[in-house]
Amino acid sequence: SVVAEGVETKAQVERLREIGCDYVQGYYFAKPMPVNEFEDLLKKQKIRNTIPISRVIREEKERGKILLIDEDADYREKVQKSFEGQYDILEASDADSALDCIADAGSDAVSAVILSMTLPEDGAVRLLKVLREDPVFWKIPVLSTIPGGEVVDELPMTMETEDFLCKCHPQIDMRRRVERMIRVAEYQERQCTLQDQANRDYLTGLLNRRGLWTAIDYLRSEDLPLVIMLFDLDNLKEVNDTWGHEKGDQMLQFFTELLRSQTRSDDILCRHGGDEFL
């Protein structure tokens, strides 16, 4: 077991949970104190001591949903009880009803998918294909379940999921793995959001220079040839000096909307400088 000491913020706690740390200690929970104060604290926290830290953190958020797709009704009931009080479990017995569940709940509301790899009529293969290729669903982490370890080689699609587990394993293993998948997915989403913010101009929402070079790095030979158009707005300084920067900002935002309305969704749009657009 791994213990991290010196933990002072909630962000540090969440990050340590994401990378699989078992125990944390530090000022985030309490600072050194006299014995009598410590005894009082223990008395107050007796009930809370039984609650996993992952649940304490999640209590501050809206309870998420886990989509359980399995042909075995008894196993679905077993999993349902395992996550009771932590997540809402959506159940499906085949691929088609699973896709309907996701569509009804909304992709953002589904925190993870637990998928049986032995669904009839290649249901797991069909479902994974949709989850991995649809831009709406591909971020949802998937835990695949299999009857036993000896069948892994017979189910190569198992390796297309974030993790897999034999159904004979204790349910606590499933809870840990699902929790870890969700934490990793949340962390990656935050990283993507930060990266996107770093690559975009705060006023117009267009790419900034850093974002432009990132986009250029992702260009492929199939994207060529291309045309580059540079727009330089006239009199922006005069507008700022005469009517104030708020009017100048409105001028930039107006041109941004004009640019968006006259270009395609897959064109690269950039505010290259103060009054320069590309």
Tell me the per-residue pLDDT of 158-188, one tens digit each, with 9 for 90 and over: 667 888 888 888 888 888 889 888 888 888 8
pLDDT over 80 (residue 84): yes
Contact 141, 184 (CB under 8 A): yes
DSSP structural state of residue 39: H
Q: Name residue 5's amino acid.
A: E
pLDDT over 90 (residue 195): no
Angstrom CA distances, 184 to 105, 111, 158, 173, stand at: 21, 11, 19, 17
Q: State the average pLDDT over residues 215-227.
A: 87
Q: How far apart are CA 44 and CA 59, in angstroms?
A: 18
Angstrom CA distances, 124 to 92, 165, 189, 216, stand at: 12, 15, 25, 37
Contact 201, 183 (CB under 8 A): no
pLDDT at 49: 46
pLDDT over 70 (residue 52): no
Q: State the average pLDDT over residues 258-278.
A: 93
pLDDT at 106: 64
Q: How far apart are CA 99 and CA 69, in angstroms?
A: 10
The structure tokens listed for 45 are: 């926290």
For residue 85, name the pLDDT band (cuts at 50, 70, 90): confident
For residue 190, name the pLDDT band (cuts at 50, 70, 90): confident
The structure tokens listed for 134 are: 């649809």
Mean of the per-residue pLDDT values of the chain = 84
pLDDT at 196: 82
Angstrom CA distances, 199 to 178, 180, 210, stand at: 32, 29, 6
pLDDT over 90 (residue 278): yes
- Weakest mean pLDDT among 54-68, 226-240, 248-262, 264-278: 54-68
